[in-house]
Amino acid sequence: MARIPGPPGGPPQIEIALRRSARARRISLRVSGLDGQVTLTLPARVREAEGLAFARSRADWIAQALARVPRAAQIAPGVAFPVEGRLRAITAGPARGAVHLTDEGLVVPGDPSQCGVRVATFLRHLARARLERSVAHYTQALGRRHSSLTLRDTRSRWGSCTAAGGLMFSWRLIMAPPEVLDYVAAHEVAHLAEMNHSPRYWAVVARLLPGYEAPRRWLKSHGSDLHAWRFQD
């Protein structure tokens, strides 16, 4: 990690992750729209000082990009956050018991300092149940089988499918509207038939989920908001 001074009116310092790449032909800067990480990529023979000088020359652009990143929101008692596309207010429950949904919100028993961890565990279980149901529906419709289903907290993708039929999904999809979760499930199941993004592949997606374009647009527009929620300090 390195730091450069921020521009006037911006953050006093900007933290930058340095990355070297033998394949890079020029210095490049990237600001993650998910968590605001600034990455400076350097070709193998470029000196670090030269790269940081380039970053300093782009300090205004970096600050503007950081300003567009959604602010992190901490899960805690009293906070309202989305579950299956609906805002749910977190309320305290009795000292013992399980986290559960009600018409009013999400009841989280136990130590308030463990609220985020307990909510994340609950969401993973709920996401697995919903995704298993959705995947079963689409694999049956496609006439294909998957080999496994795993959940992760991924930043770069919402789902993936391996050549061996292993499906992976981000558990944060459970915060999106149900049709968005269904779209990602259909998207990955379609790869069991077409391991590409060709017109033939998209035809499979359309057959599995007519009207998939709307939830796909929602995910592109609002997906970064789901990554803004923090479940641990």
CA 99/CA 107 separation, integer angstroms = 6
192 within 8 A of 161, measured Cβ to Cβ: yes
User: Do 62 and 99 fall within a single domain?
Assistant: no
CA 138/CA 193 separation, integer angstroms = 12
Total structural domains in the chain? 2
User: Do 153 and 192 fall within a single domain?
Assistant: yes
CA 66/CA 60 separation, integer angstroms = 10
CA 15/CA 216 separation, integer angstroms = 33
Q: How many CA atoms does the CB half-sphere of 116 hold within 13 Å?
A: 10
User: Do 139 and 165 fall within a single domain?
Assistant: yes
User: Do 90 and 201 fall within a single domain?
Assistant: yes
Neighbour tally for 123: CB within 10 Å = 24
User: Do 64 and 114 fall within a single domain?
Assistant: no
Task: Give me the pLDDT at residue 37, please.
Answer: 85
Select from 43, 68, 93 the last residue of a domain: 68
CA 132/CA 119 separation, integer angstroms = 20
CA 57/CA 40 separation, integer angstroms = 13
User: Do 89 and 194 fall within a single domain?
Assistant: yes
212 within 8 A of 205, measured Cβ to Cβ: yes
User: Do 64 and 119 fall within a single domain?
Assistant: no
Select from 44, 68, 92 the last residue of a domain: 68
The pLDDT tens digits along the chain (233 residues) read: 889 898 888 788 999 999 999 889 999 999 887 678 899 999 999 999 999 999 999 999 999 988 887 776 899 999 999 999 999 999 988 878 899 998 879 999 989 999 999 999 999 999 999 999 999 999 999 999 999 999 999 988 999 999 999 999 999 999 999 999 999 999 999 999 999 999 999 999 999 999 999 999 999 989 988 988 999 86
Q: Which range marks the domain in which residue 90 is found?
A: 74-230
230 within 8 A of 153, measured Cβ to Cβ: no
User: Do 52 and 112 fall within a single domain?
Assistant: no
User: Do 53 and 29 fall within a single domain?
Assistant: yes
CA 185/CA 191 separation, integer angstroms = 10
For 110: left if phi > 0, alpha if psi spans -120 to 50, otherwise beta; the answer is: left
Q: Is the pTM of this model over 0.85?
A: no
Select from 68, 87, 104 the last residue of a domain: 68
User: Do 44 and 135 fall within a single domain?
Assistant: no
User: Do 78 and 25 fall within a single domain?
Assistant: no
CA 103/CA 63 separation, integer angstroms = 41
89 within 8 A of 106, measured Cβ to Cβ: yes
CA 15/CA 36 separation, integer angstroms = 10
User: Do 145 and 115 fall within a single domain?
Assistant: yes
CATH number at residue 167: 3.30.2010.10
